[in-house]
């Protein structure tokens, strides 16, 4: 009977220990992803943004380190859990500070959710470890009689590497599972500027990962491992993990993304996306590829875009179509090439309007900006035109 009781105590201690480690890893993963999100969108400058980061840090570091301490010293781990409880409760409550300030959420509802979270993550484990110490339960890991300084350093380093590895694996999994962004959602202008954190390159998908869907007879997944074939901006790795998109095995893509800049994943070759980026299958990215390979004009204005039509299954290039470009020097009519692209260089600076010259009664759809484009010397402008 005593053996069964001992095994039950060990099993219960391991459940609480591993649960704390798992919660800590998830908290640090959320901290990393939230750091990236705030850096890209500026939400970290709001009070709620700072409190979200604080709550993620508390819900990550404290359960993780306290659970590791509990393997040898349950009493110290229990005190660490309970001492951190009021800070975690306050940070959790204030994560919705902006909505709370404007009455968009009820304070007692928010307080109830915050208390439930701190109860499960901090109070229950803290009381459990203090209780095991009070009842003289054996530690999860028995304390050796003598340990040399070298062995202590080796064990500490091994534990640190293991925990960092778990956090990085969690960050990669979460990045793959994130909801995909639409690619090039407005097409109002070709790719024309490159900034910090942005990565632009051509890559071939060698393996798809994450949630998958069948779309128009194509099997596409939310993540992919890809080999970089042509580098334009900001990318150093030869192999990258693409996330938040729709990728097909064996397909080539122009990737216009952002490198993960979280505190934990900034050194990993993980590429995500912002909405309205220019990522696309290589055959659909001819305009952006020309711009990237030719670079910006040293003088004058360049206007480039494409014309497509629907063939009953997908959009394809529409060669031989006339595009009208009106600017300071008058009107220019240019015919699209075999790839459905119109391209004019050396135009004077000024405001330009672009529209299609229809040869039939079919209706033209245009994503060109209403009112035209104000372009300076060295600028690149243009838009996509669709014909039914």
Q: pLDDT, tens digit, for every residue of 111-155?
A: 888 899 999 999 999 999 999 988 888 777 766 656 677 777 777
Q: Tens digit of pLDDT for each residue in 191-247? A: 766 666 788 999 999 999 888 888 777 888 888 999 999 998 888 889 999 987 888
Locus of tokens 């470009």: 325
SS3 of residue 382 by DSSP: coil
* Residue 149, in any domain of the structure: no
Q: Examine the domain organization and report whether 9 and 138 are in the same domain.
A: yes
The single-letter DSSP state of residue 198 is E
The larger pLDDT score, comparing residue 141 to residue 16, is at 16
When divided into structural domains, the chain yields a total of 3
Verify that 262 and 300 share a domain, yes or no: no
Structural domain includes residue 115: yes
pLDDT at 206: 94
The pTM (predicted TM-score) of the whole model is 0.69
Rounded Cα distance, 36 and 56, in Å? 13
> Does 86 share its domain with 126?
yes
Residue 189 lies inside a defined structural domain of this protein = no
Question: Over the Cα atoms of the chain, what is R_g?
Answer: 28
Measure the CA–CA gap between 70 and 66, rounded to whole angstroms.
6
| Domain-embedded: residue 304 | yes
> Does position 336 have pLDDT exceeding 70, yes or no?
yes
Kindly report the average pLDDT of the chain as a whole number.
81
Is 246 in the same domain as 350? no
Q: What is the mean pLDDT of residues 335-361?
A: 82
Contact 74, 125 (CB under 8 A): no
Which range marks the domain in which residue 96 is found?
Answer: 2-143
d(Cα 300, Cα 190) in Å, to the nearest integer?
17
Domain contains 307: yes
**For the chain, what percent of residues have pLDDT higher than 70?**
86
Q: What is the arithmetic mean of pLDDT over 93-107?
A: 78
Q: What is the pLDDT of residue 201?
A: 93
321: domain CATH number? 2.60.40.10
Q: What is the pLDDT of residue 190?
A: 66
> In the predicted model, is pLDDT for residue 110 greater than 70?
yes
Both 310 and 238 in one domain: the answer is: no
The pLDDT of residue 184 is above 60: no
Highest mean pLDDT among 72-81, 240-249, 290-299, 356-365: 72-81
> 299 by DSSP, 3-state: which?
coil
Share of the chain above pLDDT 90, in %: 19
Given 258, 284, 310, the domain boundary residue is: 284
Classify 111 as helix, strand or coil. Answer: helix
Mapping DSSP to helix (H, G, I), strand (E, B) and coil, where does residue 67 land?
helix
Tokens coding 165: 């590895």
Here the CATH number for the domain that contains residue 204 is 2.40.50
> Do 36 and 118 lie in a common domain?
yes
Q: Please check whether residue 175 lies inside any domain of the structure.
A: no
Domain boundary, last residue among 229, 258, 284: 284
> Quick one: 254 and 321 in the same domain?
no
> How would you classify the pairing of strands 239-242 and 218-233?
antiparallel
* Residue 138 phi, psi (nearest 5): -70, 140
The answer to whether residues 233 and 330 belong to one domain is no
Residues 122 and 68 in one domain: yes
Beta bridge partners of 223: 209
- Residue 318 shares a structural domain with residue 278: no
* Measured distance CA(205)–CA(101) in Å, rounded: 47
The better pLDDT of the pair 189, 268 is held by 268
Query: Is 83 within the bounds of a domain?
Result: yes
* In a domain? residue 136: yes
Indicate whether 336 and 242 sit together in one domain.
no
Question: 360 and 278 in one domain?
Answer: no
pLDDT above 60 (res 32): yes
């Amino acid at each position: 009977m005593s053996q069964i009781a001992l095994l039950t105590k060990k099993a219960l201690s391991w459940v609480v220990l591993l649960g704390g480690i798992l919660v800590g890893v998830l908290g640090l993963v959320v901290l990393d992803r939230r750091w990236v999100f705030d850096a890209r969108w500026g939400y970290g400058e709001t009070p709620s943004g700072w409190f979200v980061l604080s709550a993620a840090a508390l819900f990550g570091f404290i359960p993780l380190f306290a659970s590791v301490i509990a393997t040898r010293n349950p009493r110290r781990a229990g005190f660490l859990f309970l001492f951190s409880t009021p800070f975690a409760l306050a940070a959790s409550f204030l994560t919705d500070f902006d909505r709370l300030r404007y009455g968009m959420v009820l304070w007692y509802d928010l307080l109830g959710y915050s208390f439930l979270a701190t109860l499960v993550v901090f109070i229950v484990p803290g009381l459990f470890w203090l209780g095991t110490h009070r009842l003289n339960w054996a530690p999860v890991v028995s304390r050796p009689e003598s340990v040399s300084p070298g062995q202590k350093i080796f064990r500490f380093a091994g534990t640190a590497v293991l925990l960092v590895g778990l956090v990085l694996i969690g960050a990669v999994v979460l990045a793959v599972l994130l909801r995909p962004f639409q690619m090039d959602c407005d097409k109002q202008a070709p790719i024309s500027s490159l900034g910090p954190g942005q990565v632009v390159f051509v890559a071939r998908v060698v393996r798809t990962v994450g949630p998958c869907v069948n779309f128009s007879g194509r099997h596409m997944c939310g993540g992919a491992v890809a080999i970089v074939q042509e580098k334009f901006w900001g990318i150093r790795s030869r192999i990258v993990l693409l996330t938040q998109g729709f990728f097909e095995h064996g397909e080539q893509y122009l990737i216009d993304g952002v490198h993960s800049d979280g505190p934990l994943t900034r050194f990993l070759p993980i590429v995500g996306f912002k909405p309205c980026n220019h990522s696309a299958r290589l055959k659909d990215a001819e305009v952006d590829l020309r711009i990237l390979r030719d670079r910006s004009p040293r003088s004058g204005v360049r206007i480039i875009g494409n014309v497509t039509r629907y063939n009953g299954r997908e959009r394809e290039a529409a060669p031989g179509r006339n595009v009208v470009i009106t600017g300071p020097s008058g009107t220019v009519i240019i015919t699209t090439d075999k790839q459905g692209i119109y391209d004019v260089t050396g135009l004077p600076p000024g405001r330009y309007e672009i529209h299609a010259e229809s040869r039939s009664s079919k209706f033209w759809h245009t994503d060109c900006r209403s009112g035209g484009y104000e372009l300076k010397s060295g600028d690149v402008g243009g838009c996509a035109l669709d014909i039914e």
